[in-house]
Amino acid sequence: MKKFLAIVLAGLMLISISACGSKPAAEPTPAPAAPADTAEPAPDAATPAPAEYGEYPSFAVVSKGFQHQFWQVVKKGADQAAADLGVEITFDGPPTESDIAIQVDMLKSAMDKKPAAVCLAALDTESVKEQLQACKDNGIPVVGFDSGVPNAPEGSIYATASTDNSAAAAIAAEQLYADAGFQAKLAAATPEAPINVAVLSQDATSDSIISRTSGFINKLVELVGDDSVKIVGHDKYAKDAASAKVIVNVNVPATTSAADQKTGAEALLGLDNLVAIYGSNENAAGGILAASNDGNDFNKDTGKFKDIIAIGFDAGKTQRVAVENGWFLGSVTQDPYQIGYKAVSLAVDAINGKPAASPIVDTGAKWYNAEALQDPSISELVYE
């Protein structure tokens, strides 16, 4: 009996020791709710929160260039978007916009790192078709920016962040129409004594240049009145009017060379009763500047073209100086900061599976005159 009781007692002691070594799991304690006055605001519905696409995905951003101020501002916008949206980016571009092979090598190198998405401003679509196909096959979304990837294979580009050139050119027409000097001359114009407005358009083949030309013309027609504006000089834009008091003269030079742009500008500046001249891109504006002693001839006190209103598009050092001195009424610039920002933002949407709202997302444009250039947020957009 004593032996039996000893065995039972030993067993009870073992059970007790085992129970002490295996406590039941504690119930999880819910995290305390943040006080109402310190809670983080909900993210905008159009901007996915970082938690939706994982922690720090990496995007490859490949531009047309790198050293030019325009691309530095694009990079600044892209970097800010990456910080705001919780992603990482690499930003590369060739030394110049003629270095197609270098850009292709940069794109290949970026893809070797298996990025979550690619943002690309292609110098030559044909040269990157193989990479575009590889991205498509591997489920890597590609976002175009600036001029994007023209004529890319169908379905290879998620969306493109770029300037709406027609809308940008319309800004120039609105500023011209609002000018008091132009209004005075318009009020005095008649079908018997019409005023002339000149448009220098670099070429008639580039989609962006065509849009920057037609956008200016169409807005001016809208503001002045359809029956009051006649368009001459080029069949692409020609338009008759029953009682025209404004004649828009479009000159498309023979080539895009600086010499031909200058020659085209000289022909327009020789028109009788010319009240305004518009250059539809940096090259065309450069032609106007070359034909006017770098803009000095538009000096409102002493210039031989002092009664003519000059307006440009894009930037460049000489054009900026002309605007700063008041020789040009002003110019329209693209917004490279928003080009970079929206390219990265679109890439975030793409990896989250959000359908693109539009194949082209407008990145806006800004009007700048001498006063506006005092604002650093405008000045940084006007590259030299």
For residue range 204-260, what is the model confidence (pLDDT) as tens digits?
Answer: 988 889 999 999 999 999 999 999 999 999 999 999 998 999 999 999 999 999 999
pLDDT band at residue 379 using 50, 70 and 90 as cut-offs: very high
pTM: 0.80
240 by Cβ neighbours in 10 Å (0-12 / 13-18 / 19+) ranks as: exposed
Specify the pLDDT at position 333. 97
**Strand order in 88-92's β-sheet?**
88-92, 58-62, 117-120, 142-145, 159-162, 360-362
Specify the pLDDT at position 55. 65
Residue 8 has pLDDT above 60, yes or no: no
Residue linked to tokens 């129409």: 177
Residue pair 169/367 in contact (Cβ under 8 Å)? The answer is no
Beta bridge partners of 232: 249
Torsion from C-alpha of 44, 50, 54, 55, nearest 10 degrees? 170
Least confident of 94-98, 154-158, 302-306: 94-98
Residue pair 265/200 in contact (Cβ under 8 Å)? The answer is yes
Residue pair 102/110 in contact (Cβ under 8 Å)? The answer is no
Q: Residue range 92-112: average pLDDT?
A: 94
CA distance 169 to 90: 32
Specify the pLDDT at position 37. 35
Specify the pLDDT at position 156. 95
